[in-house]
Every structure is written in C-alpha cells, then in structure tokens.
Structure 1
Amino acid sequence: MNRMAKSRHGVANYVVGTALVASLAGAVLTGCSDTRATSAATPDQNSATGHPSSMLAPYNPDLPAGTKPDLPKRIGIPGDFNVPVSVELATQMRASAESRGLTFTEAIANGDLVSFRSQAESMLTQGLGGWWVYAGYNSDDIEKQSRDKGIFTFGLESGVQSQMADDLYALGQDMATAAVKWADKSIHGQGEVVILAPPTTSPAVVQYKQGMKDVLAKHPGLHIVSEEQTPKSGGDAADTMATLLQAHPNINIVLGHSASIGPALSAFESLGRGNDPKVFMAANEVDSGLLAKIGHSIFRAGFANPWPLYGYAYGQYTADWLEGKSVPKLLTLANGRSLLLDTPAEARKYIADMKDAKSTWNDVKKRDSYIKAWGNVSYDTRSDYWHQALLSLHGVVPNR
C-alpha cells in the first residue's frame, strides 16, 4: 500500500503499502511515489493529472449515472499484503465489496516481480470490475490493459483513475515536531535520533525524510545518529534495531513507518526497555496493534492514514463504477495531513472507528472527519487518469 515502497526496478521493497501507501502511502497504504517517467502535460495542463490546470472541485456524488460496464462483479488486490495495516485495509475492502454483491480476491507477491505479474495477469484473465494497482512493479502495460478493459483502477500511483494522496514532506515535519515536543519535556531537548526509512531513494522517501531533517535541524541538541534503510521483513527490521542499539545504546528517538517501527519496538522490549521513559517512538501508517500500545510503552505517537476506511470506500466505489456511477478522482485526509494520535483515548476511538469501517462510512459526519473526496470520474470518462503520483496536494485541491 505504501507509496514509499515502490522502486523503479519493479520490486516493492517495503510495503504497506502501502498501507504511502504508504502511505505514506506504501506507502507502506504508505505512504508514496512512483519513480517512473511520467506523461508530459501540455502548458495548459496540470502536470500531475494531464488535465486543465484548474484545481479539483469536491466530489459530486449526485451526477447522473452513465454506461454500465459489462464487467465481472469482482474486486482484486495483487501485491504485498503481509503487514498489519495492509491486512486491515484488505479486510475492510472485502467486507465492503461483499456488502454490494461483489467478490473479493487478493494475492501476496512478497516483493517478487515474477509472482506479481503472474498474479496480476491471472486476475485480468479471470476478469475484474476494479482493482488496486501497484505501479512499483513496472506494471505500466498491466495498468493500460486494465484501463482499456474499462476496469476501475485505483491506488497510490500514476496510471490510476482514482488516487489517494497526502503531503509527505508535511508528514515528516509533523513526526519530527512531535518528537521535539516530547524531547523538550522529557530529556531536556538533548538526545540521539534514528530514522528508519524504506530501502529506496524515491522522491517520496526523500521528501518524507527531508521534512524530519528540516525540523530536527532547528534543534541542535537532537542528533541523527543513523538513517537506516530497513528491509520489509519484520525480523530484519528488529535485527537492524538491535544492531543499532549495540552501537548507540542511548538512542532516544526512533521515527519511521509502522512496518519497521513495530519490529524495532520488539528489539527494545527484548532488552527490557519497552517502557523506558527516555525513549520515544512514532510511526506513520500505523496499525491498530501499535496504536493500542500508546500510553503503555515507548511507542508514543501514531500518524494515521485511515487505510481501513479507504479500503471500505473503494469497495463501495467499485460497486458504483459497475453501476455506471461517478466516483472520486482523489481521496485525501480530511485536513490534508496524517492524523496525530498520542493519547490512549484518541487511539481507542480511531481503532473502534476503523474496526467498524461500515458504520464510520455510513455516518457522513464521521466519515468526513477522516477523508475528503475530490473530482469525478466514471466508466464513460475512464480515459481520464492520473499521469503522476502526487507527493503534495498544493495546486491540486483548494487550501492545500
């Protein structure tokens, strides 16, 4: 799910993908970017969309329905769904799809290009009404086949009709700001910092890390002692953290994606430091398991993208697409930034809302407190797709 996960050479080295997504958005889900060459826009077009340069208007769900595509009532996800936040997304997408009479299928490639292509091609052969596209597997041709067939394509990358996006530089800033506030209160603003980043130099990861560094640079008492490119494997991430603690036993702050922070937390716990008052850990694209530790461990802050709710949304939107209805071109966080959760009460509320994504979706006020929909696209306008992955919302939607 994680947009940060995607490398140009076709292997999703760090996934959520995300959950950029991921989320980041993926990323991990995850949270980030596709580094492939993108379609050039003409001077009067927005470079991200290939459309007129005016910003997207809020999504209008009341546009008249158009042509109903003759496609199977099936939604699929070929990709890496082996981390908690990704599992949560897939679970809610399945529930949403089945509530509208669609079947749900998924496959796990574990970062393997050959497996991904085989699984994606198999899904295309079987037939789909909609699917989550992983552009990081160099899947341009698969995306084009999908669009040519009229399949609703959505994800965190270019080549899709509907994209999820947030501001990754701002995310990095927000994570570092939370760490600075804790450090000023708990360790007199003096300490050692570790950034656990995906093993890629994609623009998304660069912006994410730069946001952190720009904030930390204003606080000379906080020193970055390591910027590790952590593998996607939980065991590998735990080993990486254990090795870092041997070299730097006084690490105070650890920032990164939930797929690495969870295992890194276990490394502290194995040393009896799971409640060390001088340690602060924070993660983006955070899952419910990590959130449940807030207030009871050194994991003190989660920056949430509501991936379970995104999953439920796209189950509904795929069903709408198959009925000829218009769906959003873009989903963003309600206020354009990841939601900071740093108290047990906030964490419990978020966990409950995401676990019961159906009720959250049906409660429009609650839904709108998490996500916002922009633009319109339908089967009849399916040639209208994103030419680039979005790293920032500036100039794409109002007030961002």
Structure 2
Amino acid sequence: MKLRLCALASLLCLAGASLAAGGEGLTTPVKLPAYDAARAACRAPIGLQKKLVFVQDNRREFMQAAGRGLEAAARARGLDYSVAFANNDPALMIKQVGGIATDKTGAMVVAPIDPPSLAPALKKVIGAGAYVGAIVPPPATTVLNAPQYLTGKVLADAAANYIRARLGGKAKVVLLTHDGLQFLAPRFTAMRDTLRTLPGVTIVADISPATVDKDGGYRTMKTILLAQPNIDVVLGADTVVLGALAALREAGKARPDQFLGGIDGEQEAVVEIKKGGSPYKASISLASSIFGYAMGQHAADWLEGKSIPQAMDILPMALTSSNIGDYERDTANPGAVYADPVRRAAYLKMYGNICFDTRDNYINFPWSSEAR
C-alpha cells in the first residue's frame, strides 16, 4: 500500500502504510524520502542506560574500523561503549543481544551473522525503546546499507578496464561471493553482468566462502587452485580476497599482472594497493569508520529524543593512488568528516525520519535505495 508521510503535532505519522501486528515494524517495502534534519524532536526514552554496544560478527578490519568510529562518537557524546564479539557464532550473537535487552542498554549497533535467527531478539530491543542500528540486514531503527549493485559495478568496471588494457581482453576470473546473504547479492549480480560483456573472460569459480574473513578466502582459494592453478582476476570483499591472495602467494601463483580487487577499503587492502607490483589493484571504499561514527551520533541523538534517519547509504568510492591519501585522512578522523556537510555528503546519504515516539515504524524489510 502506498506510504504517505505527514506532520501531526510535529511528529511523523504514517497513513496507509501496512504495519504488521505485534510490533513487526514496516514490513512492506517503501521508498523513503530524504532525511529531514530539521524535524522536531520527540520524547526521550526513559529508564535506559546511556550506553552503546557494538555486537560485532568477527574481527575483520572493516568491522574493527566501524567499531573505532562508534567508539569515537560515543566518547564525543558521553556514552559508555563496549564491544560484544560473536566470533562468527550466530547462537552467541542471539545470547549477546538478549543480554542487551535484559540490562536495558540504550543503544546498540549490530553486524548480523544469521539475520533470520537474530530478528526476534532485535525486535525485543527495539520494542523496549532502545536504538538499534544494523549494518545491512533489518530489523533496525536505522539500517545502514550501500547501493549494492552500484558497489559491485564500480569494482567490476575497474576489473574490466584492466582486463582490456593489460590482459588483452582475456582472463580467468574467480568471484568470491556472499550470495547466501540476499542483501549483498546485488553486488555480485553487477559483477557477472559486467564480466559477461567481455567475450574473453571465463568465470572459473563463482563460490561463497564458508566464512566472510581471511581464513574463508584462503581456504576457498586453496581448493580452487587444485582445479585452476592459473588465475588472472579475483573479486569479492576485501577480507576474503586478501585471504585468496595469501593462498596464491603460498602456492607461488601470485603475479604482478593479476587483478585482485575487493570491497570495503580495508587497511590491509590499501597497503597492498600502495605497494609496487602487488596483484591487489583496487578496493571499493565503504568507509566503515565514517559510517560507524554517524551511527554512534544517531544513537546519542536517539537517547536525547531527537529525530534520526531510518536508513543510510554508505557511498562506494574506488580507491586509487591519487585519492588514497585523502581517504586515509578522512577515515582516521571521522568526526571531522561528520562535522563537515560537504565531506560527509561524499560518503553518506540519509533517508527517512524516526524517533522514540515513532519507533514502531522501524524498518523490517530488506531496504535499499536502489529498490524500484
């Protein structure tokens, strides 16, 4: 049904939206308007701790940087901050979120491992009035996503240009995907769409590693090399592609003319790109310290009763030797980026409004700004 936003007593109301019973939030996909920073505040939550917890899936650098941004924002706003590491264990994550609900923590940000199994626990936290920020999968007070198809296309275009210019239009390609996570699948659809336009390209492996970390990429590439010892291009998330690079080097199959490219702008990937002669040629930045800082600010705003975004894009940026210096400066000081509207707009785009009084309108569908 059509969503219509209207003002009523300075609060957001929803007319004609389909809200499921039982506090299920917005389950029908809707197109969110631009975030209105001037929206009036509402009541602040009562009886919750001024505390922000990051429920972190694993210790890959992308998430570590998000944590650094969250911690910096919490420190700036006077919130206690802690991290709950789930270590790729979905059952442990459910237990951690349950503990957050029990001790009345005021705000949390989560990187879900198994979104369907975690959803009931997150709904309880939201129902209690706490802020829940989610990195990609709902449910959440604020969903952080990237325009996933565009993100994959930016990386695939860089690889395609390299294949044409440096590899004579021919390449054996490995795609290390996350197709089991529907929210990230569009980035790999974009890669396949782009590579399909190159007649000389063969995708010799299109596979999801068991874990989204270096070990997962390393083990998967070791298996691939048994059947395909000569690989020209590897694409995926930085953390798994870095693991694949380790496997290639261990097998003596890494070459300066290869194109390894990832998504996330992880520090180790940046170091590789800056090296002369590394197979690692590109990383698509989803500047996690900057979005982490923004989510930490939103958590603090929520606890003060302010209206915050329902959703936020982190915009993809292809890192090159010409812009890595600026990128490293910005990610090292996310507070300065957040405080500068022009610099912030290069990384973040915000949508919708929600506050404590309208918390039942939390997003509970796979939100993307690219949805049509």
TM-score tier by shorter-chain length is 0.7 to 0.9
- Asked if 2 retains the 8 angstrom alpha-carbon contact of 1:258 and 1:284, the reply is yes
Q: How does 1:1-400 map to 2 (within 5 A)?
A: 49-50=26-27, 55-70=31-46, 71-133=48-110, 134=112, 136=115, 138-155=117-134, 156-198=136-178, 201-232=180-211, 233-271=213-251, 276-296=255-275, 297-334=278-315, 338-341=316-319, 343-395=320-372
Cα 1:137/1:50, change in 2 over 3 Å: closer
Quote the residue 2:7 is aligned against: none
State the distance in 2 between where 1:140 and 1:240 align.
29
Residue 167 of structure 2 aligns with an amino acid whose one-letter code is: I
Residue 325 of structure 2 aligns with an amino acid whose one-letter code is: R
Deviations 1:303-345 (A, max 9, x none): 11121111101111111111111111111135xxx2111x223
Deviations 1:2-46 (A, max 9, x none): xxxxxxxxxxxxxxxxxxxxxxxxxxxxxxxxxxxxxxxx98669
Partner SS, residue 227 of structure 1: strand
**Greater Cα offset, 359-368 or 130-139:** 130-139
State the distance in 1 between where 2:90 and 2:216 align.
21
Deviations 1:271-300 (A, max 9, x none): 5565x2320011112312211221421111
- Asked if 2 retains the 8 angstrom alpha-carbon contact of 1:44 and 1:52, the reply is no
Partner SS, residue 323 of structure 2: helix
Residue 192 of structure 2 aligns with an amino acid whose one-letter code is: K
Partner SS, residue 309 of structure 2: coil
In the TM superposition, residue 50 of structure 1 has moved relative to its aligned partner by 4.9
Cα 1:306/1:122, change in 2 over 3 Å: same
State the distance in 2 between where 1:49 and 1:188 align.
50
Cα 1:183/1:234, change in 2 over 3 Å: same
State the distance in 2 between where 1:52 and 1:83 align.
31
Deviations 1:144-174 (A, max 9, x none): 2112210011112222121112332333333
State the distance in 1 between where 2:154 and 2:81 align.
36
Cα 1:172/1:69, change in 2 over 3 Å: same
Q: TM (normalized to structure 2)? A: 0.86
State the distance in 1 between where 2:87 and 2:194 align.
34
Residue 358 of structure 1 aligns with an amino acid whose one-letter code is: G
Query: What 5-or-longer segments of structure 2 have no aligned partner?
Result: 1-14
Cα 1:119/1:373, change in 2 over 3 Å: same
State the distance in 1 between where 2:323 and 2:19 align.
38
Higher strand share: 2
Q: How large is the RMSD of aligned CA atoms in angstroms?
A: 2.5
Partner SS, residue 138 of structure 1: helix
State the distance in 1 between where 2:40 and 2:16 align.
31
State the percentage of identical aligned residues.
Answer: 25
Residue 290 of structure 2 aligns with an amino acid whose one-letter code is: L
- Asked if 2 retains the 8 angstrom alpha-carbon contact of 1:173 and 1:211, the reply is yes
Residue 232 of structure 2 aligns with an amino acid whose one-letter code is: N
State the distance in 1 between where 2:183 and 2:296 align.
27
In the TM superposition, residue 201 of structure 1 has moved relative to its aligned partner by 2.8
Residue 214 of structure 1 aligns with an amino acid whose one-letter code is: D
State the distance in 1 between where 2:194 and 2:344 align.
31
In the TM superposition, residue 125 of structure 1 has moved relative to its aligned partner by 1.8
State the distance in 1 between where 2:346 and 2:193 align.
29
Q: Which has the larger radius of gyration?
A: 2
In the TM superposition, residue 59 of structure 1 has moved relative to its aligned partner by 1.6
State the distance in 1 between where 2:83 and 2:259 align.
36
Cα 1:105/1:392, change in 2 over 3 Å: same
- Asked if 2 retains the 8 angstrom alpha-carbon contact of 1:292 and 1:347, the reply is no
- Asked if 2 retains the 8 angstrom alpha-carbon contact of 1:165 and 1:332, the reply is yes
Partner SS, residue 98 of structure 2: helix
State the distance in 2 between where 1:181 and 1:320 align.
44
Query: What 5-or-longer segments of structure 1 have no aligned partner?
Result: 1-41, 396-400
Partner SS, residue 233 of structure 2: strand
